[in-house]
Structure 1
Amino acid sequence: MKKISIVTLALFMAMGTFFTSCEAIKNTNKTQRGAAIGAASGAIIGGILGNNVGTGGKGAIGAVLGGVVGGVAGGVIGNKMDKQARQIDEALPGAEVKRVGEGIQLVLNENAVRFDTNKSTLTASAKENLEKLVPVFSEYPDTDITIFGYTDITGPADYNLKLSKERAASVRNYLVGKGVASVRFNVTGLGIADPIATNDTAEGRSQNRRVEFAITANDKMRADAKVEAGN
């Protein structure tokens, strides 16, 4: 997965300190230790990757990904999210997959889902790439998916805000049409906020016309995780 070498190095360093200093962990069973690793790794990865969530959309995406269960139950969720993130990365290498806290941030830039200027319709290649995500989303039905739409700076800000939500809705509608439950989705538009490239070039503006996903545990996954953790 992208950035995995940096994350893994930091994770191993932190785990060494974590397990040598915590007597409580030493007295747990194998399942509890595995869940604790997930909890700690989620926090560490979130700290490392949190700065990669852009400034304009950081409040919106951060608010969605910021809610955590924590503890052993949070580790159970983190382990499931680790697995799902790897599968997304394998299914759609052109996307950016980031593990943040107990959730996943998925950036579908022009390499995965490209929008033409002033358009919210999906191209043939965008549909093809979105379809690759359907099996993964179907394998993890107990997650919620918030889709954020973005634009470049072409046109009035209020128009771009509306257009960005239409782009997010186009992605949701396509996935729902392929069998992903509609109740799992929320969509929002962030307009010109949080550019990931310069708006001074055609190539940069194309990259900014994108969607991002925040994938989080739903109530059922949280409840199941607490049961599995023995809470």
Structure 2
Amino acid sequence: MQIKLMFSNHARKTAAFFMLSLLLLHSFSCNRTAQGTAIGAAAGALVGVLIAKGSDNAKGILIGATVGGIAGAIIGSYMDKHAKKLKEDLGKSADVERVGESILVTFDSGIMFDVDSYALKAATRANLDKAAETMKEYDKTEIIVMGHTDATGSDEYNQKLSENRAAAVSRFLQQNGVTASRLTNKGFGEQKPVASNTSVSGREQNRRVEIAIVASKALVESAKKGEK
């Protein structure tokens, strides 16, 4: 009787562990499907990772955040077309990259803003106006605007400047018809350099505004169903 009881307890624990494993696997799968990342259960999980992930840069996060399979291929095709149009819109004013199943647009802050300013230059406004039209056309995406500075100046000043610049870009896109619910903006100050701050060229690279464009829940769900 004692052996039977021990076996029963073990069986119950095994069953519980098995069910927990299934739940975790299901959660993992849903997260991958919903947002192309294994972090977080909500559709906006990747957005949260982009604006909160330690010192990792956006490109590294986007490379690791993929749905894969047929759904990933459908999302990739959608993003290919979107990126091609954005390159036409922005010309040489920004670097448009396809990264994983997302798009990363990088602007040199010197092109977008005057020194110590967060008012968009006229030329930048013209290009962003075109980009906004494309973003409205390819509306199955979420858009994260991220401001960065170099390490000159105080931490507090750099943080505020980066926040204001990210907000200025986000606000301009919204004013030109991009739905506010698709937009998130975040300033990082000097926290996420992509080059050394000890050289002039490195500081120039670090002074930037990035726009990450990622698949929305609606796009992932339609891709999962094989809908192009």
Q: For this structure pair, what is the TM-score category when the shorter chain's length is used for normalisation? A: 0.5 to 0.7
1: CA distance between counterparts of 2:113 and 2:204? 7
Unaligned runs of 5+ in 1: 1-55
CA distance 1:121–1:197, change in 2 (3 Å): farther
Task: Identify the residue that residue 215 of structure 2 maps to in structure 1.
Answer: 217
Give 1:68's match in structure 2, choosing from 66, 69, 73: 66
CA distance 1:178–1:196, change in 2 (3 Å): farther
By how many angstroms is 1:117 displaced? 2.2
Contact map agreement 1:148 1:212 (CA 8 A) in 2:
yes
1: CA distance between counterparts of 2:204 and 2:128? 18
Q: Counterparts in 2 of 1:53-132, with a 5 A limit?
A: 58-63=56-61, 66-94=64-92, 95-110=94-109, 113-132=111-130
**Count of equivalent residues:** 173
TM-score using structure 1 length = 0.66
1: CA distance between counterparts of 2:63 and 2:183? 14
CA distance 1:229–1:190, change in 2 (3 Å): same
**Which one has a bigger Cα radius of gyration?**
2
TM-score using structure 2 length = 0.67
- Aligned-pair RMSD on alpha carbons? 2.5
Unaligned runs of 5+ in 2: 1-53
1: CA distance between counterparts of 2:202 and 2:58? 22
Task: Identify the residue that residue 181 of structure 1 maps to in structure 2.
Answer: 179
Percentage of matched positions with identical amino acids = 39
2: CA distance between counterparts of 1:115 and 1:108? 10
CA distance 1:207–1:119, change in 2 (3 Å): farther
Contact map agreement 2:150 2:193 (CA 8 A) in 1:
no
Q: Can you list the C-alpha shifts for 1:59-108, whole angstroms capped at 9, x where unaligned?
A: 45533563222110111000111111111111111111111111011111
For the residue of structure 2 that corresponds to 1:146, the secondary structure is: strand
